[in-house]
């Protein structure tokens, strides 16, 4: 009897270790909102750069992308800092953050330079953004082992190719569709998954 209870205790210890390791590694970061936020930011930048809004600063369409991207970056940092709160940092979380931050910096430097040097080209612009987003989504999906995100990477790569071969109008439509699928829809899906995961985590705690 004593031996049985000792054995049970030891088994319980093993499952305690397994459960706690799983709990610690449970994705504590939530990223879905950033996809939605950036999707909306892209739409604002596109609308602003295409139509302007005829008054005040909004009339300066050249400012559309830099101003929107800088605003979205600042908003992301502020919200991420608040949301992160007291969650532990993980190596995976740091790797994903580093990936997106470096991609953002690269994209900003390149596109800003293209615009300043007067080499701005609508199709090239879309192709570069789409290819960079495809690369980052693919790398992120491989780290997280998340096939849905890899599907988004494929959509971005296809958008990059389509932008090179299509007309300016087709390139714009492809970009708008890719943003909707890979930012708004995927971001909302990620938020749903995170909410469900947190709910499960709370009920197990």
Interface positions with other proteins (CB under 8 A) = 7, 10-11, 13-14, 16-25, 86-91, 94, 205
| Cβ-based nearer residue to other proteins, 84 or 188 | 84
| Cβ-based nearer residue to other proteins, 25 or 119 | 25
Q: Tell me which DSSP letter residue 106 carries.
A: H
Long-range contacts of 112-121 (CB under 8 A, 24+ apart): 112/66, 115/62, 115/65, 115/66
Burial of 144 (0-12, 13-18, 19+ CB in 10 A): middle
State in angstroms the smallest separation of the CB of 27 from other proteins: 11
State in angstroms the smallest separation of the CB of 61 from other proteins: 38
| Cβ-based nearer residue to other proteins, 23 or 121 | 23
Q: Is 90 helix (H, G, I), strand (E, B) or coil?
A: coil
| Cβ-based nearer residue to other proteins, 90 or 122 | 90
Q: Please, are residues 75 and 16 in contact by the beta-carbon 8 Å criterion?
A: no
State in angstroms the smallest separation of the CB of 6 from other proteins: 9
């Amino acid at each position: 009897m004593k031996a049985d209870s000792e054995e049970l205790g030891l088994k319980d210890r093993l499952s305690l270790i397994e459960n706690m390791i799983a709990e610690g590694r449970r994705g504590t970061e939530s990223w879905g909102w950033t996809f939605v936020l950036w999707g909306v930011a892209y739409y604002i930048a596109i609308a602003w750069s295409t139509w302007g809004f005829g008054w005040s600063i909004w009339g300066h369409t050249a400012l559309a992308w830099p101003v929107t991207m800088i605003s979205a970056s600042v908003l992301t940092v502020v919200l991420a800092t608040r949301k992160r709160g007291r969650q532990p940092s993980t190596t995976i979380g740091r790797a994903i953050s580093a990936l997106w931050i470096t991609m953002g910096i690269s994209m900003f430097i390149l596109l800003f330079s293209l615009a300043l040097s007067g080499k701005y080209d609508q199709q090239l612009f879309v192709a570069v953004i789409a290819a960079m987003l495809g690369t980052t989504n693919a790398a992120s999906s491989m780290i997280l082992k998340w096939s849905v995100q890899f599907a988004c990477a494929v959509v971005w790569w296809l958008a990059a190719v389509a932008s090179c071969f299509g007309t300016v109008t087709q390139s714009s439509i492809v970009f708008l569709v890719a943003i909707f699928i890979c930012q708004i829809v995927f971001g909302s899906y990620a938020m749903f998954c995170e909410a469900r995961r947190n709910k499960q985590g709370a009920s197990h705690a």
